Chains A and B, each alone.
Chain A
Amino acid sequence: MKLTFKPSPNYRSSQTTTGIMFDLTVCLLAVTVFSVLYYGVNYGASYGLRVVIMMVSAVITSLIVDAIWAKIQKIDIKEGILSSYSWITAMILTLIIQIDVSPYALCVATVIAIVFGKLVFGGFGQNIFNPAAFGAAVIMSSFAATKSADFVTAATPTTTAAAYGWIMNTETFGSYVTQYGGLGKMLLGWYPSSLGSTSAVLIALCGVYLVWRKDIDWRLPVCYIGSVFLITTIIGLIKGAGLWYGVFNVLAGGVMLGGVFMVTDPVTNPVSIPGRIIFAVGCAALTVIIRLKANFPDGVLFSILLMNMMTPAIDKMFDGNQIKNAADFRNKTIICSALLALVSVLVGSTVQAKEVVPEPAAPAAVEGSLGSIDFSANNVEVTEVSNDGKTAVYSCSADGFGLMNNMGAEYGRNEVTVTVDVAKGSVVSVALDNFGDTAGIGDTATSDDALAGYAGKTLNDSVDTVAGATFTSGSVAAMVQAALEAAAK
């Protein structure tokens, strides 16, 4: 019989750090599964598989790095891996990047994130920066050129919103948001963005679960997401954008994912509650500033990295007895949070809406012999006016720049009359009947000189296009091709 001495208390809660990490892993897996489903269903199995490959390679890389580090530190490898929790970093990192990042770049970034973002500081619990955000910053700054052209998705909400200058009036927003299926669909997350950041509903559920399990402090996601909402709503009201603006800013980009999984990283945020509130509000203020005013498509990662740098100072600010200093700490919290939000609103309210000229659809390349070019996009119509066996006259019409790009009601079809020498199968003349494209730009392709250039051309000849008026040139060439083909029948 042995009686042991241990300092009191000799009673422990059942919650363990490993348990917290297990809960996090489960939530991150749920987000990953959603991502695999979205890309698999919308873009095909190869896209779904790509997500799996990225996740698996990042996690395996993190385990290898931990194992090697444990070997160097001369500690048990299993122990090293299980007390470093680096797979969480790898999972979050994978979920905050886009599908076109190569797995190779992801693995390198994972190594850098874990070694230089975490292990060199002394490992788990000692790091200054959120390692996943650190790794994503490495990818953004060093691997922009390795993006794979094989995995192309539609543009993400943040990139397209940046093209609009991050501010739109309600009508423009209405047509803008339809490409993502409206705010409702954005809430569900059925649109392209970084791998795991889309489903606000799923991420919110994960957040509720983690709060219920007391794995994260509910104040952090609530203050962060709430502040982003408040700040952008005020900016939206100032700029006359409407109430949807705040909702959109919360749903777009990494605000939800960052708010639940990254801002809450206990290692890199302050330990005192007032400190955490300032940390969350600061992240929100910087997210909005970077998003609206900087060149990056989203501000979540860099706002977290910047506020990570402030953590020691914030901790110092709230050292002391939380009860005896309650009034002082409350005032500090209110003043700091209000200032941060105010600066963000002021900076954010200087955004200017940009006129978005939709990128023109590419005209058919007018290269090679006239008969070999695919002009199907021009919707050519041909009517035979006369044909005496020698000479045939065709009245033709085709879409040009205006109709192919939906430029508006003032645009119409281009119409020409083509006279063909039936025996030779060559053009005699081309005459303009109606011009439906941009005056001053497209009409250089329908000038008398330009039309005279078609004389004598057969389907085997190549034709010239007029620089600066490629759409109209293509439109004319398409009609000539159609007339020659009709004559050859």
Chain B
Amino acid sequence: MSFLTGPMHHHLEGHKDLTAHKDVLILEEPDDLYIPLVNGRASCTPLVQPGDEVKVGTKLGEPVDHWYVPVFSPVSGTVVGVEKRMSAILKPTDHLHIKNDHKGTSVRAFEPFDYESATREEVLEFTKNAGMLGLGGAGFPTFMKYSKPENIDLFIINAVECEPYLTADYRNSMENASLMKAGALALLKLSTAPKGAIAVKEDKHDLIDVLNKTFAGTPIEVKTVKDIYPAGWERTLVYLLTGRRYDRLPAEAGCILNNVSTCIALGDAMINGKPITHKYVTVSGDGVKDPHNVYCPVGTPSATLIKACGGYTAEDCLLIAGGPMMGRAIPNEVFVIGPANNGLTVLQNKEYKTVKCLRCGRCTETCPSGLEPVRINQYEKIKDLDALKKLDIMSCIECGMCTYICPSNIDVTEGIRRAKRYLTLQAKK
């Protein structure tokens, strides 16, 4: 098929060695934490008042609607109040300000849970109350994903981590294999699938060994994928593992997917009774002096992490929440690490000389969604509504491949975003 469509993926230089084999830096907990009151997609109402004492594991907030993902305190200390701060999606968002007393007194958020003896419904209920959400970046509530699985024949654990620079999932998996096993088996039970697969890049030999040992004797098989981008995207991963395509949800292809960090978090919740309060965060890139994976509480401001990694290497940098392909460059340091963040990429700001499009079609060959970015950009310039509709631009996930691959250094992805905004605007009229 790739003779007519192109590969629809591309190998990226990962720069993973900057952080992959270094010890994880355990961050000294900051004095002030700002817990985002938006967990995943749902905003929460705070359950605590200013002046309240909180402990590690205290439930801080609960969502108002059915996107039920409660928020728990990562530290012990005093609630200062609710503040609006710039978030990693560049919107002012409510954050709960907590003054850390560094005592670390904790309270059990919930009792440890035996998934093996529990029914599927009980596991689902536990996942909901423990505030589990997709930690790969999307932040989709886990219990919703598993609420009504139908005809699922493969449960996929995504340990691909295809964004360049990021190694947080890799470090997390290497260090917490037993938690991962428990979480994965619980999710396998939720998925109703007869078997599972854990997908990992073929070049991560040590992780493959660990996974093979961990999952020996379970229905979960270790599957390797090529070191390509975006192998970790749901559609690409399902296609790589099963050869199937689907229209809207992976369930149409009989698959259900979760990130490996989600498995570990669920394992941690079931075995240790700990909610998602701490994160492995990769701080890497040529813009930071001492790249590391950092273990830090949720609510840590990015400035604290950069400082812990030696600060910036240049006067003009890009601070990116996430990896360099899909992460946003944030022009301030106040945004905090949320439950779904797993990386900060700091790059020196380089100017790229843009020349005219030579219509080489590399963006078309490599687009994982099978779109024609060059045509979309052409029609966006002349605002041809019908042509844009035909080009199926809403299938674009903004993975950034077209801008990456463009030899003329054109911001192709940004052109598609403009086209999407234009189309949305026209649809409203």
Contact = CB atoms under 8 A, between A and B. Distances in A.
Interface of A: 1-13, 15-20, 83, 123-126, 214, 217, 219, 266-267, 269-274, 276-277, 315, 319-324, 326, 329-330, 333
A329 B3 CA distance: 12
A320 B5 CA distance: 12
B85 interface: no
Nearest to B391: A319
Contacts of A326: 1, 4-5, 370
A248 B319 CA distance: 60
B404 A126 contact: no
A319 B378 CA distance: 12
B355 A17 contact: yes
Contacts of A273: 3-6, 361, 364-365
Given A6-B329, A273-B365, A15 B315 contact: no
Given A11-B12, A271-B372, A326-B1, A2 B404 contact: no
A7 B361 contact: no
B48 to A, nearest CB: 32
Interface in B358-378: 358-362, 364-365, 367, 369-372, 374-375
Interface of B is mostly: loop
- Going nearest first, the 8 A-B pairs with the smallest beta carbon separation are A9-B400, A323-B370, A322-B370, A125-B356, A11-B324, A321-B392, A271-B361, A266-B360
Interface residues of B, number: 69
Interface of A is mostly: loop
A2 B316 contact: yes
Interface stretch (B140-148, B195-203, B406-414): B406-414
B237 interface: no
- In the complex, which of the residues A124, A271, A273 has the most CB atoms of chain B within 10 Å of its own CB atom? A271
B414 A271 contact: no
A212 to B, nearest CB: 14
B170 interface: no
Interface of B: 1, 3-6, 8, 10, 12, 164, 245, 312, 315-320, 324-333, 345, 347, 349, 352-353, 355-362, 364-365, 367, 369-372, 374-375, 387, 390-392, 395, 398-401, 403-409, 411, 413-414, 417
Contacts of B391: 319-321
Given A8-B400, A83-B356, A13 B405 contact: yes
A12 B352 contact: yes
B330 A267 contact: no
Contact of B408 (A3, A17, A276): A17
Nearest to B362: A214
Nearest to A124: B356
A126 B370 CA distance: 24
A323 B409 contact: no
A9 B404 contact: yes
A7 B402 CA distance: 13
Given A3-B317, A11-B324, A273-B4, A324 B360 contact: no
Contacts of B362: 214
Contacts of B413: 7-9
Contacts, number: 177
A16 B356 CA distance: 11
Contact of A274 (B4, B324, B347): B4
Nearest to A18: B355
A16 B409 contact: yes
A321 B376 CA distance: 11
A124 B356 CA distance: 7
A269 to B, nearest CB: 8
8 contacts: A5-B329, A10-B318, A124-B356, A267-B358, A271-B360, A321-B395, A322-B370, A324-B370
B359 A266 contact: yes
A377 to B, nearest CB: 59
B358 A124 contact: yes
B364 A322 contact: yes
A125 B5 contact: no
Given A3-B317, A321-B392, 8 more contacts: A8-B398, A10-B318, A11-B404, A12-B404, A16-B353, A17-B408, A271-B360, A320-B390
B374 A3 contact: no
B400 A11 contact: yes
Given A13-B404, A323-B370, A271 B375 contact: yes
A30 to B, nearest CB: 22
B363 to A, nearest CB: 9
A20 B407 contact: yes
A3 B403 contact: no
Contact of A3 (B3, B4, B319): B319
B320 A10 contact: yes
B390 A319 contact: yes
B403 A271 contact: no
B364 A11 contact: no
A123 B315 contact: no
A333 B400 CA distance: 29
A322 B2 CA distance: 11
Contacts of A13: 10, 12, 404-407
A390 B203 CA distance: 108
Given A5-B331, A9-B403, A15-B407, A266 B375 contact: no
Contacts of B352: 12
B333 A272 contact: no
A269 B356 CA distance: 16
Given A4-B349, A5-B330, A123 B317 contact: no
Contacts of B417: 7
B325 A8 contact: yes
Nearest to B393: A321
- In the complex, which of the residues B315, B349, B361 has the most CB atoms of chain A within 10 Å of its own CB atom? B361
B403 A12 contact: yes
Given A3-B333, A125-B359, A323-B5, A8 B372 contact: no
Contacts of A9: 324-326, 399-401, 403-404, 413
A8 B327 contact: yes
A4 B364 contact: no
A336 to B, nearest CB: 13
A433 to B, nearest CB: 75
A319 B372 contact: yes
Contacts of B316: 2, 4
A304 to B, nearest CB: 15
Contact of A8 (B320, B369, B392): B320
Nearest to A271: B361
Contacts of B358: 17, 20, 124-125, 266-267
Contact of B375 (A6, A18, A124, A315): A315
A272 B1 CA distance: 14
Nearest to A6: B329
A474 to B, nearest CB: 63
